[in-house]
Amino acid sequence: MSVNDKLPVGGSWLQEKRRQAWESFAAKPYPIIRYGLNITTDAGGLSLENLSIPQPKPPKVENRNKGIIVTDIFTALNEYPDIVEKHLFKSLGYAECACGNCIPNTAANEKFLSFHQSMFNAGLLVYAPKGAEAEHPVHIDSRVDGALLEHTLVVAEPLSRLAIMENLHGDGSFRSGIVEVFAGDGSSVNFGSMQNYGEGLVNFSMKKAVVNKDANMEWVTCDTGARLTKSDVSSVLDGSGARTMNRGMFFGRGGQHFDFHVNAIHARQSTESYLLTRGALYDSSKAIYRGLIKMTRDARGAIGYQKADTLLLGEHAEADPVPYLEIDNNEVKCGHATTVGQVDAEKMFYLMSRGLGEEEARARIVEGFFEPLIRLLHADRIQKEARALIHNGIMRNIGRAAVTL
């Protein structure tokens, strides 16, 4: 298969990038990633070369904001060529990355990333001009039907405010989604992603933000679907006073496998990052969490904190959370915590002593485990969606959790 057979439209500069990416993809083996002793993420069963990628259906977009542009990425190539060419792929940790502080991509990511860059066939540009304020979240409803490679480019010019929520669903074999956010000086971007794919799908997801001076980047991810989810969420705090908050939730069942990497790179002084992740695993589902807070030499006065809590609800469920702190400056504050536990028998007894049945008591405790994180989400709609995803997941698992009483 030649890359040119399949490539969707694109300007000549993009065609050239796609060709290079394809060569890079073809040269790399499929990764098997080993973590610790037990859990392995194995993408060996995939054969992306032979993947049949149907013509994508455009996502449903709801944008009730004046002055915020949301348009198909290929249309944008013609209508906003400068914006696209200036930003597309520029956050992804290649040599051209502006900040010079990016952590190198892992071999696993390189393989998928190259494939994505050469083949992405759908996506959006969301553009907030200088000072524009979105009153309502931009809502994106994206459905996979077979296979989909989508690229979302978010450019928030200085002092703009933007909230975006994507709902990801549908069935198929493969989905690749990359979100790049460029948050200009003093801007505020809130990006929420609610993922509920069918349980046969392999989901490669990469989200990356370059956060400039005094800008604020909030990520919310809620993963409940897909057979295998490989998800990276990173913020490069590339201007003084830049701040990121990352709230990740996941909910596994059956043989689902999650592989989360959450990163905050403090490239400038007085930057802040808070990475909070919570997940529940039923049956024999598994989750790997790797969190990194990197304090560079220029990060004087920065604050970073990460916490990952996992509730094991299945007899064969496994979690492997490891937080990393990399600190090259003495004048920073940095902390981390991880917990892995089961539903507490005393909590169960307390609720049951008030009349709640065993399943109902457990469901309340699991919902309650996520609720403090959901309550912190800004937009009502994102709160509602996250709550519904978790609730539906729990209700589907009634009767399947390991008995704790």
Partner 1 sequence: MSHGNNSLVIENLRVNVEGQEILKGINLEASIGEVNAIMGPNGSGKSTLAYALMGHPKYEITAGSIMFQGEDLTRMKPNERAKRGLFLSFQYPTEIPGVTVSNFLRTALNAIKPQPVPVPEFLRLLKEKMALLKVDQSFASRYLNEGFSGGEKKRTEILQLAVLQPKLAILDETDSGLDIDSLKIVAEGVNSLMAGSGLERDDKAGQANMGALVITHYQRLLNYIKPDRVHIMMDGKIVMSGGPELVHKLESHGYEWVGKAVSDPEGADEASRHTALSDLTETSGLDKLDKASRHPEAGLKS
Using rule CB under 8 A, residue 352 touches partner 1: yes
Q: Does 346 bind partner 1 (CB under 8 A)?
A: yes
Among 26, 97, 356, 402, binds partner 1 (CB under 8 A): 356
How wide is the angle at C-alpha 322 spanned by C-alphas 316 and 323, nearest 5°? 150
The strand pairing partners of 273, in sequence order, are: 244, 304
Verify binding: residue 58, partner 1, rule CB under 8 A: no
* Dihedral angle of Cα 49, 230, 71, 57, to the nearest 10 degrees: 50
Tell me whether residue 81 or residue 357 sits nearer to partner 1 (CB atom). Answer: 357
Maximum C-alpha span of the chain: 69
Q: How many residues bind partner 1 (CB under 8 A)?
A: 25
Nearer to partner 1, 29 or 399 (CB): 399
Mapped onto helix, strand or coil, the DSSP state of residue 28 is coil
User: Interaction with partner 1 in 161-190: which residues (CB under 8 A)?
Assistant: none
Nearer to partner 1, 58 or 368 (CB): 368
- What does DSSP say about strands 32-34 and 40-42: parallel, antiparallel, or unpaired? antiparallel
Query: Which window, 147-155, 194-202, 233-241, 353-361, contacts partner 1 (CB under 8 A)?
Result: 353-361
> Which residues make Cβ contacts (< 8 Å) with residue 255, sequence separation at least 6?
227, 283, 284, 285
Rounded to whole angstroms, the Cα distance separating 401 from 214 reads 45
392 binds partner 1 (CB under 8 A): no
In the complex, the smallest distance separating the C-beta of residue 308 from partner 1, rounded to whole angstroms, is 16
* Of 183, 113, 124, the residue nearest 152 (C-alpha): 124
In terms of CB distance, is 25 or 282 closer to partner 1?
282
- Applying CB under 8 A, which of residues 360, 395, 396, 398 lies at the interface with partner 1? 360
- Nearer residue to partner 1 within complex by CB, 227 or 364: 364
Stretch that binds partner 1, among 138-146, 164-172, 224-232, 352-360 (CB under 8 A): 352-360
Q: In this chain, which stretch among 86-94, 154-162, 361-369, 378-386 interacts with partner 1, using CB under 8 A? A: 361-369
Q: How far is the CB of 252 from partner 1 (least distance, A)?
A: 19
Q: Does 357 bind partner 1 (CB under 8 A)?
A: yes
Residues 6+ apart with CB under 8 A from 252: 224, 258, 279, 280, 281, 282, 283, 285, 286, 287, 317
Residue 172 CA, chain-centre distance (Å), reads: 19
Rounded-to-integer distance, Cα 237 and Cα 268, Å? 7
Q: What angle do CA 249, 255, 257 make, to 5 degrees?
A: 45
Our CB check for partner 1 shows the closer of 100 and 368 to be 368
Q: Does 399 bind partner 1 (CB under 8 A)?
A: no
354 interacts with partner 1 by CB under 8 A: yes
Among 347, 378, 381, 391, binds partner 1 (CB under 8 A): 347
Task: Report the phi/psi class of residue 237: left, alpha or beta, with left for phi > 0 and alpha for psi in -120 to 50.
Answer: beta
* Cβ atoms of residues 254 and 227 within 8 Å: no
Separation in Å, CA 364 to CA 234, 343, 344, 360: 32, 11, 12, 6
- List the one residue from 17, 143, 169, 364 that touches partner 1 (CB under 8 A): 364
Return the residue of 85, 133, 358, 391 that touches partner 1, per CB under 8 A: 358
Alpha carbon distance 109, 20 (integer Å): 16
Nearest to partner 1 of 162, 365 (CB atom): 365
12 binds partner 1 (CB under 8 A): no
Contact map string, positions 367 to 386, toward partner 1, x by CB under 8 A: xxxxxx--------------
**Binding residues for partner 1 (CB under 8 A):** 344-347, 349-358, 360-361, 364-365, 367-372, 405
